[in-house]
């Protein structure tokens, strides 16, 4: 008997995990909850049930639907936390290891915006924080009995609702897939440290499509349909959105109640709602909280990330370092902070043993140029000199004025708008943009690899630093991002294509650049309006003109002050 038991136990242990609930097939949404929001689309002013915070309210209040007419926004799909809330059918299938028949991944094709997803089931880790984000994010799954649980990170910024309730790129989503016969329930719980004060939970039902459906394709071609100023960013100034009350008025609900918030999702709120005609509802005020910026890169370690083509990003050197490698040698864009220079060099050497031929400085800051001497002397031009350091002439001036050693100076300078050369089989463009972060900024475009290196003209970790003392300015900053947008070409539906290495933070693409540009333009317009109304700098700061972005980019006081002084000087 013991032998039989042992055999049985052995047999059980050898069973592959194919006894899971089968989710494969084609599923069509049913819209018996929030149909008006999910199918025809809600109007501005409906944020009911969303546990959004004050920052999200400010963002939503400012949102002008004309913004989606901008070329860069037209073909933007819904992100993961949003797409299951729209009209949708989707297909699920599995990919199995041929040797073990274990499920390696579940694949999804979502008919809305033709989105593909992979849900990895093989235990792989999520990408590092400096990897690009996508609209569907990066997903891993795990079965809990008959429930498939999926965790997704690396999601792009978008919306929870079309009405302008924003989602951030720091959101994470946990999904649960539950099947009962031909009914599939999909639960989605979103954590968003920037725009939500509590997790946002939703669930939707899908029914199995026995006969399938042909409505799977989504064609989007962006076109300029409405003539208007190029690079205009439509938005409403705080308190000026004329459409906000339409929804609450239509359904006879108090304005404060339809503005969302975690409090409004609990039963106790019904009492306030019932009494609201007699007692004004308190305007909510979130408790101050620290910004939810991405964690800093690991101290003391240089991480290498292959961006695309010949171009790599080195992370952890203070500022990001870009490295292009090929048969002709190595190009290094920015060299990191001085304390990290040897480790940066080691990381470069691990990529290629070719000579470092060229070094480009995007600007003069020490965290971008601290390794200049080390990299230069480790490299060699074709005539045997240390590798040449290229920069705009203003950058050389700033470094020399700052008393930096001459051995660190970029002596190969230029003053024209753009310099180009061909190296490692691709054209490389150095675009000078006056009055951005400083007056000497350069961003680099590797045309063959299709990678932009932005320097501090684009960062995913902080607000722009407008160094007015060294010639920086807000309009120049925006112009530089617009120039990058002119160069960048996204992949299908605003994702990938041209990648952008920021001065600090994670790899981005055109969708990230445009969000950064929009943010600066919106805050600039608000401050401009406040200046017109005669407000002092202190009053402007107290009015929190960057409230909707502070949770993402942190302390805005220097940014606000720089814009204020820049715009005030032009009155």
Partner 1 sequence: MTLLSALIFFLAAQRGQPPVPRTAQAAAPVDLTGYWVSVVSEDWRHRMATPRKGDYESLPLSAEGRRAADAWGLEKDNAAGLQCKAFGIGGIMRQPGRLHIAWQDDNTLKVDFDAGTQTRLLSFDKSKQPPSDKTWQGFSVAEWEGPNIGGLGGLGRGARGAEPDNSRQIEPGGGGRGLRGGPAPPGSINQGGSLKVVTTRFREGYLRKNGVPYSEDTSITEYFHRLPKHPNGDEWLLVVTVIEDPKHLTQPFYTSSQFKLEPNGSKWSPRPCQTAPPPK
Q: Which of 56, 92, 121, 530 binds partner 1 (CB under 8 A)?
A: 121
| CA–CA–CA angle 154, 520, 66 (5° rounding) | 85
CA nearest to 153, candidates 191, 205, 184, 181:
191
Least Cβ distance, residue 164 to partner 1 (angstroms)? 17
Report in angstroms how near the CB of residue 261 gets to partner 1 at its nearest: 11
**Shorter beta-carbon distance to partner 1: residue 239 or 252:** 252
Rounded to a whole number of angstroms, the minimum distance from the CB of residue 127 to partner 1 is 11
Buried b (16+ CB within 10 A) or exposed e, 317-330: bbbbbbbbbbebbb
Q: Pairing relation of β-strands 89-96 and 426-433?
A: unpaired
The DSSP bridge pattern shows strands 25-30 and 183-191 to be: unpaired
Q: Which of 44, 48, 167, 528 binds partner 1 (CB under 8 A)?
A: 48
Sign of CA dihedral 364, 365, 367, 370: positive
Task: Please choose, from the candidates 212, 171, 169, 214, the residue with its C-alpha nearest in 3D space to the C-alpha of residue 191.
Answer: 171
In this structure, are residues 358 and 331 in contact, taking their beta carbons and an 8 Å threshold? yes
CB of 60 to partner 1, least distance (A): 15
Minimum gap (Å) between residue 204 Cβ and partner 1: 7
Region from 2-10, 306-314, 383-391, 422-430 binding partner 1, contact rule CB under 8 A = 2-10
Name which position in 6, 128, 270, 289 contacts partner 1 (CB under 8 A). 270
Which residue in 27, 45, 51, 164 binds partner 1 (CB under 8 A)?
A: 51
Question: Under a CB-based contact definition with an 8 Å cutoff, are residues 513 and 459 in contact?
Answer: no
Beta strands in 412-470 (DSSP E): 412-414, 418-423, 426-433, 441-446, 451-459
Residues 6, 41, 146, 555: which binds partner 1 (CB under 8 A)?
146
Shortest distance in whole angstroms from residue 121 CB to partner 1: 5
For residue 466, list its beta bridge partners: none
Q: Which is nearer to partner 1, 140 or 376 (CB)?
A: 140
DSSP calls for 226-257: S---TT---B--TT--TTTTHHHHHHT--TTG
Stretch that binds partner 1, among 269-277, 289-297, 314-322, 375-383 (CB under 8 A): 269-277
Site string for partner 1, 3-42 (x = CB under 8 A): -xx--x--xx----xxxxx--------xxxxxxx------
Identify residues 428-487 at the interface with partner 1 (CB under 8 A). none
At residue 396, the 3 state secondary structure works out as helix
Residues constituting the chain? 571
Between 99 and 118, how does the x/- string for binding to partner 1 read (CB under 8 A)? Answer: ---xxx--------------
Least distance (Å) between residue 144 CB and partner 1: 5
Between residues 251 and 492, which has the closer beta carbon with respect to partner 1?
251
- Does residue 141 touch partner 1 according to CB under 8 A? yes
Q: Which residues 305-324 are close enough to bind partner 1 by CB under 8 A?
A: none
Closest to partner 1 by CB, 254 vs 386, is 254
Q: With respect to partner 1, which residue has the nearer C-beta, 75 or 262?
A: 262
CB of 284 to partner 1, least distance (A): 16
Q: Which is nearer to partner 1, 7 or 489 (CB)?
A: 7
Partners of residue 178 on adjacent β-strands? 185
Q: What string marks each residue from 247 to 266 as x (binds partner 1 by CB under 8 A) or -?
A: ----xxx---x------xxx
Q: Burial level of 554, CB count in 10 A (0-12/13-18/19+)?
A: middle
**Residue 128 and residue 153 in contact, taking contact as beta carbons nearer than 8 Å:** no
Least Å distance between CB 145 and partner 1?
A: 1
**Candidate list 65, 237, 255, 273; residue touching partner 1; CB under 8 A:** 273
Is 406 within 8 Å of 329 (Cβ atoms)? no
Give burial (CB, 10 Å; 0-12/13-18/19+) of 40: exposed
- Which residues between 274 and 293 bind partner 1 (CB under 8 A)? 274
Site for partner 1, residues 171 to 230, rule: CB under 8 A: 174, 176, 178, 180, 183, 185, 187, 189, 191, 199-205
Minimum distance from residue 94 beta carbon to partner 1 (Å):
10
The DSSP code for 144 is E
């Amino acid at each position: 008997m013991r032998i039989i038991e042992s055999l049985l136990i052995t047999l059980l242990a050898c069973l592959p995990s194919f006894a899971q609930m089968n989710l494969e097939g084609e599923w069509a949404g049913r819209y018996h909850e929030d149909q008006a929001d999910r199918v025809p689309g809600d109007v501005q002013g409906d944020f009911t049930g969303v546990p959004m915070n004050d920052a999200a309210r400010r963002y939503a209040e400012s949102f002008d639907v004309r913004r989606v007419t901008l070329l860069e926004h037209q073909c933007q799909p819904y992100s993961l936390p949003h797409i299951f809330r729209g009209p949708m059918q989707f297909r699920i299938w599995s990919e199995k290891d041929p040797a073990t028949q274990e499920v390696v991944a579940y694949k999804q094709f979502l008919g809305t915006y033709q989105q593909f997803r992979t849900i990895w089931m093989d235990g792989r880790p999520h990408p590092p924080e400096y990897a690009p984000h996508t609209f569907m994010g990066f997903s891993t799954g795990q079965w809990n009995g008959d429930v498939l649980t999926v965790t997704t990170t690396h999601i792009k910024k978008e919306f929870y609702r079309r009405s302008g309730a924003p989602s951030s790129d720091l959101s994470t989503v946990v999904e649960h897939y539950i099947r009962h016969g031909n009914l599939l329930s999909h639960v989605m719980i979103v954590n968003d440290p920037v725009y939500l004060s509590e997790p946002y939970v939703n669930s939707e039902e899908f029914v199995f499509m026995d006969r399938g459906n042909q409505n799977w394709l989504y064609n989007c071609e962006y076109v300029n349909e409405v003539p208007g100023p190029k690079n205009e960013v439509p938005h409403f100034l705080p308190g000026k959105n004329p459409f906000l009350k339409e929804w609450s008025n239509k359904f006879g609900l108090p304005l404060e109640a339809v503005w969302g918030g975690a409090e409004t999702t609990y039963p106790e709120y019904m009492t306030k709602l019932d009494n609201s005609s007699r007692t004004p509802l308190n305007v909510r005020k979130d408790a101050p909280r620290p910004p939810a910026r991405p964690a800093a890169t690991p101290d003391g370690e240089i991480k290498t990330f292959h961006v695309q083509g010949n171009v790599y990003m080195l992370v952890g050197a203070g500022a990001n370092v870009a490295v292009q490698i090929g048969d002709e040698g190595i190009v290094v864009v920015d060299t990191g902070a001085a304390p990290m220079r040897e480790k940066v060099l080691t990381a470069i050497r691990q990529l290629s043993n070719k000579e470092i031929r060229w070094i480009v400085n995007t600007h003069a800051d020490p965290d971008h140029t601290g390794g200049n001497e080390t990299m230069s002397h480790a490299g060699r031009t074709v005539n045997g000199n240390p590798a040449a350091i290229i920069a705009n002439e203003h950058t050389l001036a700033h470094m020399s004025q700052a008393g930096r050693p001459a051995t660190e100076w970029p002596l190969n300078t230029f003053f024209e708008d753009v310099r180009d050369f061909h190296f490692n089989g691709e054209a490389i463009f150095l675009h000078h943009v006056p009055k951005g972060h400083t007056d000497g900024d350069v961003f680099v475009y590797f045309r063959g690899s299709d990678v932009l290196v932005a320097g501090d003209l684009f960062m995913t970790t902080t607000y722009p630093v407008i160094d007015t003392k060294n010639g920086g300015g807000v309009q120049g900053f925006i112009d530089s991002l617009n120039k990058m947008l002119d160069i960048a070409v996204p992949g299908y539906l605003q994702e990938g294509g041209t990648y952008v290495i920021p001065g600090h933070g994670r790899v981005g693409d055109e969708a990230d650049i445009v969000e950064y540009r929009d943010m600066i333009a919106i805050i600039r317009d608000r401050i401009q309006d406040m200046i017109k109304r005669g407000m002092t700098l202190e009053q402007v700061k107290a009015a929190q003109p960057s409230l909707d972005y502070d949770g993402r980019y942190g302390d805005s006081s220097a940014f606000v002050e720089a814009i204020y002084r820049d715009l005030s000087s032009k009155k």
